[in-house]
Structure 1
Amino acid sequence: MCVLQLTIMSLRIIIVLAVFTGVTGSPSVTVRPEADSVYVTAHPNSVPETGEETGFFGKLEVLVEDETEEDMMATGELNPNHYPAQRAAKVVQHYLNTRYGSPYRLLGLQRVHSGNAEDVEDSGRKYQLEISVQEMIGNTTEKCSAEVLFPRGEGQRSPQVQASCEQLLKVNNTAQEEALYKLFKTNQSLLSAQNLPDSYGHIEPDMKPLWHLSIVASSAVMLNESTENTLYNMAQVANITQLATENDQVKFDCHVLLHEMVSQEIIHWKLLFTWSPPEGVKVLQMEQLPHCHDCEKPPNTN
């Protein structure tokens, strides 16, 4: 009896070892946004994916697969849950926020329905996508078609994007934006905030417009820096300060932390941007700060 039990146990151990040692090749990462069980490590101050923040943060299941499968999917019809389609679709999110985002309108990727990729002579690789885009604050969703071209050649150039989601832009936020603009312009003291969100993922309600403005401004950086090999998310606003200005624009100096989810790097950027209801968010300057191991810890950042 004891010998039989030991034999069975030995066989189980051999099978387990065979399964683990049978995984070969270079691993690649597949994104499955709808999964709930496994979370990508993000900056400790990142907001969990809840409510209006859906589509901006974490909650991505990571599975290890042979890289040949991803390479095969990179041209022609794409698996909507694999990295090539997800990376291109995320670029569309940044593009939409750069063009249409405001303190009361944030656009995020909800789902990739289908995708196709092709090489375009010497121009680069073009992605055709069918995606669902969600307006986070109003919680409305629209299915959109989009095209993303990642240029090929010397030097990094930002992707070229075409997308239209008219239904998400029909909500009239003019009254809210005008009230916020008046508040910014008439405050006795210039506004400032730090650690949005804090180490518990919390943002005070009156600070959310600053958080939303920072996301829109950061989208310009994430769009500019995106390639076929990146996947950017907003992680945290280390600090944001309203600056004095004599024109109609409200101006902000902002230090943001972006999470590049492929390399798992937290990248620091310093932004100078303006906002007004008629003109939207305009990024005047963007500067990448040294990596964390080369620089001091941002003030009051956990």
Structure 2
Amino acid sequence: MATGELNPNHYQAQRAAKVVQHYLNTRYGSPYRLLGLHRVHSGNAEDVEDSGRKYQLEISVQEIISNTTEKCSAEVLFPRGGQQRSPQVQASCEEHLKINTTAQEEALYQQYKMNQSLLSAQNLPDSYGHIDPDMKPFWHLCIVASSFIMLNESSENTLYNMAQVANITQLATENDQLKFDCHVLLHEMVSQEIIHWKLLFTWSPPEGVKVQQMEQLPHCHHCEKPPNTN
């Protein structure tokens, strides 16, 4: 791995910047707010004695639904050691991304809080890449929840995207959170492996997404490959 100034388009800078995307989604993502990496402007890497490897990045983050961009300075530390530990991330643009409850979010929350029948959906997107408009907020919610996995599992040698929601089921709850059981397919771009995970998470407009459980499922040899959503 190179140290010093990095080519912004090179895999080292891109992989570290993707970790920032996952981090920001875990903190600020919602059914109507999804953050993506727009561009890496510059990057620098250094070995930090006894700690790991630190990346300093200047990036642009895109709010995908509203199609707005925000410049951001970020620092990513990949811990050293044999055991997989999640990267440590700091980002300068967090003040601009704080959760701001919208009328859309509140309406969605109230609709599914009061529904007599609990939500259940499969294959988001389907084999043609289509998602029903009513299901898009839940596709976004699953991406946000999956960002907790992708952040936790990321290293300098990985590059994760969420490929598909195999199924999502709303669960009954007695508190103010909506609760979901979800089976997601993650695409690890370096190995080209499709990895199945089971997630249990909650969401409400003031609290955001909170992941309660995440479990990697055994490799599925007979499963159909999800549509390309990169």
Fold similarity call, TM over 0.5: yes
Aligned counterpart for 1:93 among listed residues 21, 30, 54: 21
8 Å contact 1:218–1:256 — kept in the other structure?
yes
8 Å contact 1:106–1:216 — kept in the other structure?
yes
* CA deviation map 1:100-134 (0-9, x unaligned): 00011100001101000000001000000000100
Taking structure 1 as reference, are residues 168 and 208 closer, same or farther at Cα in structure 2, changes over 3 Å only?
farther
Residue matched to 1:30: none
Residue matched to 1:144: 72
8 Å contact 2:164–2:186 — kept in the other structure?
yes
Q: CA deviation at 1:176?
A: 1.2
Aligned counterpart for 1:295 among listed residues 216, 223, 230: 223
Runs of 4+ in 1 over 2 A off after TM superposition: 166-174, 293-302
Structure 1 distance, partners of 2:71, 2:176, is: 36
* Number of positions where the alignment pairs a residue of Structure 1 with one of Structure 2: 230
Structure 1 residues without counterparts, runs of 5 or longer: 1-72
Structure 2 distance, partners of 1:254, 1:300, is: 20
* CA deviation map 1:142-165 (0-9, x unaligned): 110000000001311000000132
8 Å contact 1:140–1:168 — kept in the other structure?
no
8 Å contact 1:128–1:146 — kept in the other structure?
yes
Taking structure 1 as reference, are residues 235 and 296 closer, same or farther at Cα in structure 2, changes over 3 Å only?
closer
Q: CA deviation at 1:291?
A: 1.0
Structure 2 distance, partners of 1:298, 1:169, is: 31
Structure 1 distance, partners of 2:53, 2:117, is: 49
Q: CA deviation at 1:188?
A: 1.4
Structure 1 distance, partners of 2:88, 2:225, is: 35
Q: Percent identity?
A: 90
Taking structure 1 as reference, are residues 228 and 190 closer, same or farther at Cα in structure 2, changes over 3 Å only?
same
- Normalization by structure 2: what TM-score? 0.94
Taking structure 1 as reference, are residues 295 and 209 closer, same or farther at Cα in structure 2, changes over 3 Å only?
closer
8 Å contact 2:163–2:227 — kept in the other structure?
no
8 Å contact 1:237–1:257 — kept in the other structure?
yes
Q: CA deviation at 1:301?
A: 15
Taking structure 1 as reference, are residues 165 and 299 closer, same or farther at Cα in structure 2, changes over 3 Å only?
closer
Structure 2 distance, partners of 1:300, 1:144, is: 28
Which structure is higher in RCO with an 8 Å CA cutoff and minimum separation 6?
A: 2
Q: CA deviation at 1:169?
A: 2.5
Partner SS for 1:248: coil
As a proportion of its length, which structure holds more helix? Answer: 1
Partner SS for 1:176: helix
Partner SS for 1:292: coil
Structure 2 distance, partners of 1:298, 1:136, is: 21
8 Å contact 1:104–1:173 — kept in the other structure?
no
Partner SS for 1:178: helix
Partner SS for 1:168: helix
Query: What do you get for the CA RMSD once the two structures are aligned?
Result: 2.7
8 Å contact 1:238–1:299 — kept in the other structure?
no
Taking structure 1 as reference, are residues 176 and 80 closer, same or farther at Cα in structure 2, changes over 3 Å only?
same
8 Å contact 1:159–1:227 — kept in the other structure?
yes
Q: CA deviation at 1:171?
A: 8.7
Residue matched to 2:87: 159
8 Å contact 1:195–1:301 — kept in the other structure?
no
* CA deviation map 1:68-122 (0-9, x unaligned): xxxxx62110001111000000000000000000011100001101000000001
* CA deviation map 1:35-71 (0-9, x unaligned): xxxxxxxxxxxxxxxxxxxxxxxxxxxxxxxxxxxxx
Structure 2 distance, partners of 1:126, 1:298, is: 34
Structure 2 residues without counterparts, runs of 5 or longer: none
As a proportion of its length, which structure holds more strand? Answer: 2
Structure 2 distance, partners of 1:299, 1:189, is: 29
* CA deviation map 1:238-257 (0-9, x unaligned): 00000000111100000000
